Amino acid sequence: MRIYVIEVKWGISRGRDTDGYTTCGLYANGRKMASCSGGGYDLRGTVFGDFLEKEFQPELLKMPREGRLYGSRLLTDKGKEKISLDGACGQECMEQVIRVMGGKLETLKIGRGRKAPEFYTLTMPDPLEN
């Protein structure tokens, strides 16, 4: 089993063109894996989708093709296939992707307040177990 301790951090952008936008970053085992900013879509779902897409591409390609999960699509570039995940459709969709891959996401702690960090554990089967 592969175990990831995930921290989702929230903040406020101070960039020239994005001042005041909400920011969201995902850290897996202390390493920054994904970030986004803005509003009007699920930022948490977006960083989870980006993380899953980067970290678990071989597992995503093994998912059933028929009845593909909402928020996922198959891309082909120069004969090479890749699964793209659109986490903006919601964290629940990304949790469904995790379950289909045989993983489990557990909430450890969600702090109080707008900028409080959130902690999760993600348990995924080893690629050799499949």
Q: Which pLDDT tens digit goes with each residue over 31-85?
A: 999 999 998 899 999 999 999 999 999 999 988 876 678 889 989 989 999 999 9
Q: What is residue 16's predicted lDDT score, i.e. its pLDDT? A: 83
pTM exceeds 0.85, yes or no: yes
pLDDT per residue as tens digits for the range 96-113: 999 999 999 999 988 777
More confident residue, 104 or 128: 104
Q: What is residue 112's predicted lDDT score, i.e. its pLDDT? A: 75
Q: What is residue 67's predicted lDDT score, i.e. its pLDDT? A: 63
Helix, strand and coil percent figures for the chain, each rounded to 5: 25, 40, 35
- State how far the Cα of 110 lies from the Cα of 43, in Å rounded to an integer: 15
- State how far the Cα of 38 lies from the Cα of 18, in Å rounded to an integer: 8
Q: What is residue 46's predicted lDDT score, i.e. its pLDDT? A: 97
The three-point CA angle 23-104-95 to 5° equals 45
Q: What is residue 116's predicted lDDT score, i.e. its pLDDT? A: 84
Closest CA to 39 of 55, 56, 20: 20
How large is the average pLDDT for residues 10-22?
Answer: 88
What is the bridge-based pairing of β-strands 31-38 and 72-77?
unpaired
Structure tokens at 96: 């469904």
Beta bridge partners of 122: 4, 105
Tell me the domain boundaries of the chain. 2-129
